[in-house]
């Protein structure tokens, strides 16, 4: 345990500590029960706010590349709430056709790429603080991401009423972060996602839930055609004569006409 | 609405056209005779018509300017036209009347500016900031405004009878007519213009010529006097030259602000806006660097243009000291403001265009707006629109029943094949048995055969086999 400062119990010191902007107040945290739904009821249940926060920084920790991250955020990207969406430095190219099919308004979507780390972070800060964006997804470029940078991004996102979601590798979970919400993602099998809460304001950590992000026919491998019974061996279906339309009228003998 | 004309005379235009008014005594000279003298020279006793030697004897520090051979020079015309363009802020009916007068029809603009007095206050403000000496005339017709200069303090638009009375008091010797005609007018004993009014017009025409009668009728408003207003000016092109070459781009803010303020004033006067501007940096080595600054929508405010220009400039490197800076306004478009909301939503977000303009100006960033293309192959079915291009359209969700990946690899990456099983990152893929064929364009050989595959890392991949039976990874679900 680090040595405690001698004036720890002084009221001045406590006051100073309480007026710091990064000190969380329990009552305040309990009040913000209004979040935007994640689109996954199981995930909404384990988040105290009932969904994603409206603004500020959130971190997703996952083994990179994690294609499932975008599936998790598709309900958030879709919808007709005002404000633009930004995807910054994605590892691959998000498919516009699939995004449009999922209901993401393409007119409000912007994709940002840069090889220059500083320029990218500056542009992201400016974008989230501009009050234009509603949601920004950032895959941070390689290299250290100091707490001061994260804090600046968090404040910028709060100022611009934007939810900034950082997608970071799992190793980053060991470093402290000013992000109020940290979730750890894991893909045990294709199409399934396990979400574990690492940190959330006003709530407990360690809860987890399993989500199905792909439809059933993509999650399971269908049986091969070779294993299926051949069509020729199937019993030929009998033509049913139950339907009156298909039934032919019985042959009738013509009445004999006599002169 | 009755016509009301203003006339702005610039009596010293020939002297002030090039360098503006000077406190030093200054005269314009043609054939050793003084034609024009500025107030300082007049105070020393120099009068037009004097010999140059006499003028020099009266005033020691006399600056002498030779008048050009023609009646008016190019500088004078340009200066007059510049003033006429400035005056377009007041009314669209601005008619330059060379050599040194601009006529304005303001009868239709009185309501816009809040009445006659407010309009005159604007004119006074303009004259205060105008770099030329000016005299104001006012009248119901262009010729009347030309002659009725220096009106007394007025309270409201004067009536027609009052103008008539002022015109009647004009001495015939001061009229803007030919000298011989003035002498002929004065010969019968007439002294003022009012003495000619009661005379029968036909007799006046017979005696003093048809042109004089025409002039008089136009002066009194009995005959129409159509004037041609100036055409809208050419695109904004201004250049600033620096006395000392500039080494750094940091000192450019002041000159840029000056040019942009001029541009904004011009655009506001003409109700126009611009989608792009060009900066030309004139370098000491004879080269010229051009920076283009674009906006998502047309705009006219100098502050945004300055911000975008500085962002653009921060990525520029000078190869030589800077001698001059010029701004090219390009092609202005008429402003078409959209309907403003009567009660705007207090929580409304600003439009995306502002952010796009800023991000598009950064050369280190690649910004695009994803959109669907018309290609057939998956990687050709995607296209990125430039940030300042038109926004992609929503709707029209094609292929609703097909499974398509959310992430695409462009171009596709090759997969290694071991024991007839494709591997990704050293681990085998489990292929779905179903196959989907994408026929290639005509020059390619065979169709691509697409399959869904599972990867042990929990990935759902989209892979295909080409005509050489090689496996490629196209995307992830």
- The mean pLDDT value for B326-330 works out to 86
Angle subtended by helix axes B302-313 and B352-360, to nearest 10: 30
A123–B384: do the CB atoms touch at under 8 Å? no
Q: Which of A93, A134, A192 sits opposite B410 (nearest CB)?
A: A93
Residue B398 touches partner A, C-beta closer than 8 Å:
yes
Residue B251 has pLDDT above 90, yes or no: no
pTM: 0.61
Q: Distance (Å) from the C-alpha of residue B421 to the closest C-alpha of chain A?
A: 16
* Residue among A105, A107, A221 whose CB faces B454 most closely: A221
Which residue's structure tokens are 């599936």? A71
| Contact between A111 and B384 using a beta-carbon 8 Å cutoff | yes
Give me the mean pLDDT over the B392-417 stretch.
76
Residue B421, pLDDT > 60, answer yes
The mean pLDDT value for B111-132 works out to: 89
Q: Chain A contacts of B399, Cβ < 8 Å?
A: 97, 101
A84 contacts in chain B (CB < 8 Å)? 352, 355
Residue B425: predicted pLDDT: 84
Report the phi/psi class of residue A108: left, alpha or beta, with left for phi > 0 and alpha for psi in -120 to 50. alpha
Q: Provide DSSP, B53-119.
A: HHHHHH-TT-EEEEPPSSSS-HHHHHHHHHHHHHHTTT-S-EEEETTTEEEEE-TTTTTTTTSHHHH
Q: What distance in Å separates the CA atoms of residue B99 and residue B231, rounded to the nearest whole number?
A: 18
Say if B434 is an interface residue toward chain A (CB within 8 Å): yes
pLDDT of residue A1: 45
Residue B103 has pLDDT above 90, yes or no: yes
A79-117 residue pLDDT tens = 778 888 999 988 888 888 888 888 888 888 889 888 888
- Residue B396 pLDDT level (bands cut at 50, 70, 90): low
Question: Is the Cβ pair B362, A123 closer than 8 Å?
Answer: yes
Condensed to tens digits (0 to 9), the pLDDT of residues B346-389 reads 778 888 888 888 888 888 888 888 888 777 777 777 777 887 87
Q: Which residue of B has its CA nearest to A88?
A: B367
Nearest residue in A to B455, CA atom: A190
To the nearest whole number, what is the mean pLDDT of chain B?
84
Residues 138-157 of B with CB under 8 A from A: none
* Residue A181 and residue A200 in contact, taking contact as beta carbons nearer than 8 Å: yes
Q: Could you say which of A71, A126, A225 has the minimum Cβ distance to residue B433? A: A225
Interface of B with A in 435-474 (CB under 8 A): 452, 454-455, 457-460
For B359, the closest of A99, A112, A115 (CB atoms) is: A112
pLDDT at B138: 92
Q: Is the pLDDT of residue B334 over 50?
A: yes
Percent of chain B at pLDDT exceeding 90: 9
Q: Examine the pLDDT at A163 and tell me if it is beyond 80.
A: yes
Q: How does residue A25 score in pLDDT terms, banded at 50, 70 and 90?
A: low
For residues B311-333, give the mean pLDDT: 84
> B350 CB near a chain A CB, below 8 Å?
yes
So what's the pLDDT on residue B7? 92
**Cβ-nearest to A190 among B350, B399, B458:** B458
pLDDT in tens, B2-58: 889 999 999 888 888 877 777 888 888 888 888 888 888 888 888 888 888 888 888
Secondary structure in 3-state letters for chain A = CCCCCCCCCCHHHHHHHHHCCCCCCHHHHHHCCCCECCCCHHHHHHCCCCCECCCEEEEEECCCCCCHHHHHHHHHHCCCCCCEEEEECCCCEECHHHHHHCCCCHHHEEEEEECCHHHHHHHHHHHHHCCCEEEEEECCCCCCCCHHHHHHHHHHHHHCCCEEEEEECHHHHHCCCCCCEEEEEECCCCCEEEEEEEECCCCCCCCEEEEECCCHHHHCCCCCHHHCCCHHHCCCCCCCCCCCCCCCCCCCCCCCCCC
Per-residue model confidence as pLDDT tens digits over A181-206: 899 988 888 888 889 998 888 778 88
Looking at beta carbons, which residues of chain B come within 8 Å of A224?
433
Nearest by CB to residue A67, choosing from B365, B430, B477, is B477
Contacts of B393 in chain A (CB under 8 A): 106-107
- Each residue of A28-78: pLDDT tens digit? 554 455 778 888 888 888 888 888 888 888 999 888 777 888 888 888 888
Nearest CA of chain B to the CA of A12: how many Å?
Answer: 38
Exposed, middle or buried, B64 (CB in 10 Å: 0-12/13-18/19+)?
Answer: middle
- Whether B397 has its CB under 8 Å from any CB of chain A: the answer is yes
Q: What is the pLDDT of residue B141?
A: 92
Nearest to A167 by CA among A133, A140, A129: A140
Residues in Cβ contact with B433 at an 8 Å cutoff, skipping those fewer than 6 apart: A222, A223, A224, A225
pLDDT of residue B398: 55
Whether A20 shows a pLDDT value over 80: the answer reads no
Q: Sort residue A35 into left (φ over 0), alpha (ψ -120 to 50) or beta.
A: beta
- Share of residues in chain A with pLDDT > 70 (%): 77
């Amino acid at each position: 345990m680090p040595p405690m400062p001698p004036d720890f119990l002084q009221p001045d010191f406590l006051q100073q500590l309480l007026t710091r902007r990064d000190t969380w107040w329990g009552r305040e945290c309990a009040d913000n029960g209004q979040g935007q739904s994640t689109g996954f009821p199981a995930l909404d249940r384990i988040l105290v706010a009932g969904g994603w926060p409206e603004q500020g920084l959130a971190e997703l920790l996952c083994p990179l590349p994690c294609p499932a991250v975008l599936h998790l955020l598709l309900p958030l990207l879709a919808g007709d709430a005002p404000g633009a969406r930004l995807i910054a430095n994605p590892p691959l190219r998000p498919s516009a056709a699939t995004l449009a099919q999922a209901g993401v308004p393409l007119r409000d979507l912007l994709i940002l790429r840069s090889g220059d780390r500083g320029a990218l972070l500056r542009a992201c800060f400016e974008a989230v603080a501009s009050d234009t964006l509603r949601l920004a997804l950032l895959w941070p470029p390689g290299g250290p991401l100091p707490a001061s940078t994260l804090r600046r991004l968090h404040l910028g996102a709060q100022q611009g009423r934007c939810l900034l979601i950082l997608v970071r590798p799992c190793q980053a979970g060991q470093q402290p972060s000013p992000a109020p919400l940290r979730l750890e993602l894991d893909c045990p099998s294709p199409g399934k996602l396990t979400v574990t809460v690492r940190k959330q304001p006003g709530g407990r950590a360690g809860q987890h839930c399993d989500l199905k992000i792909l439809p059933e026919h993509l999650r399971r491998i269908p049986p091969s055609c070779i294993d299926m019974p051949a069509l020729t061996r199937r019993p030929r279906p009998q033509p049913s004569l139950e339907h009156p339309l298909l039934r032919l009228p019985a042959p009738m003998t013509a009445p004999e006409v006599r002169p | 609405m009755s016509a009301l004309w203003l006339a702005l005379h610039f009596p010293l235009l020939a002297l002030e056209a090039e360098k503006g008014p000077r406190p030093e005594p200054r005269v314009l000279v043609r054939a050793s005779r003084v034609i024009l003298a500025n107030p300082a020279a007049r105070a020393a006793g120099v009068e037009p018509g004097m010999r140059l030697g006499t003028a020099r004897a009266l005033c020691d520090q006399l600056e002498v300017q030779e008048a050009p051979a023609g009646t008016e020079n190019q500088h004078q015309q340009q200066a007059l036209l510049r003033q006429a363009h400035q005056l377009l802020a007041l009314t669209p009916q601005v008619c330059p009347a060379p050599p040194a007068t601009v006529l304005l029809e303001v009868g239709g603009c009185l309501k816009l500016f809040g009445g006659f007095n407010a309009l005159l206050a604007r004119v006074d403000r303009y004259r205060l900031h105008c770099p030329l000496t000016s005299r104001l005339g006012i009248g119901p017709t262009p010729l009347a405004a030309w002659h009725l200069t220096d009106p007394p303090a007025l309270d409201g638009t004067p009536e027609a009878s009052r103008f008539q009375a002022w015109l009647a008091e004009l001495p015939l010797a001061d009229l803007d007519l030919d000298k011989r005609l003035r002498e002929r007018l004065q010969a019968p004993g007439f002294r003022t213009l009012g003495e000619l009014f009661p005379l029968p017009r036909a007799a006046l025409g017979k005696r003093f010529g048809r042109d004089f009668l025409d002039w008089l009728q136009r002066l009194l408003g009995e005959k129409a006097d159509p004037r041609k207003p100036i055409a809208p000016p050419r695109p904004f092109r201004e250049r600033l030259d620096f006395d000392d070459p500039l080494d750094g781009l940091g000192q450019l803010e002041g000159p840029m602000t000056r040019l942009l303020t001029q541009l904004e004033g011009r655009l506001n006067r003409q109700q126009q806006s611009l989608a792009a501007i060009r900066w030309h940096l004139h370098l000491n080595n004879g080269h010229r660097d051009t920076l283009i600054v674009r906006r998502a929508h047309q705009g006219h405010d100098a502050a945004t243009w300055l911000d975008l220009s500085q962002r653009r400039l921060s990525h520029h490197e000078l190869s030589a000291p800077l001698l001059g800076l010029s701004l090219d306004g390009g092609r202005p478009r008429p402003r078409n403001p959209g309907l403003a909301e009567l009660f705007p939503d207090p929580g409304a977000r600003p439009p995306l265009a502002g952010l796009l303009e800023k991000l598009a100006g950064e050369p280190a960033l690649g910004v695009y707006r994803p959109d669907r293309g018309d290609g057939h192959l998956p990687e050709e079915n995607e296209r990125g629109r430039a940030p300042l291009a038109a926004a992609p359209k929503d709707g029209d969700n094609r292929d609703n029943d097909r499974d398509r990946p959310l992430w695409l690899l462009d171009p596709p990456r090759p997969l290694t094949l071991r024991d007839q099983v494709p591997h990704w990152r050293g681990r085998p893929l489990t292929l779905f048995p179903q196959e989907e064929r994408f026929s290639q364009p005509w020059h390619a050989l065979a169709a691509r055969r697409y399959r869904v595959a599972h990867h042990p890392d929990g990935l759902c991949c989209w892979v295909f086999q080409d005509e050489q039976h090689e496996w490629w990874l196209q995307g992830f679900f």
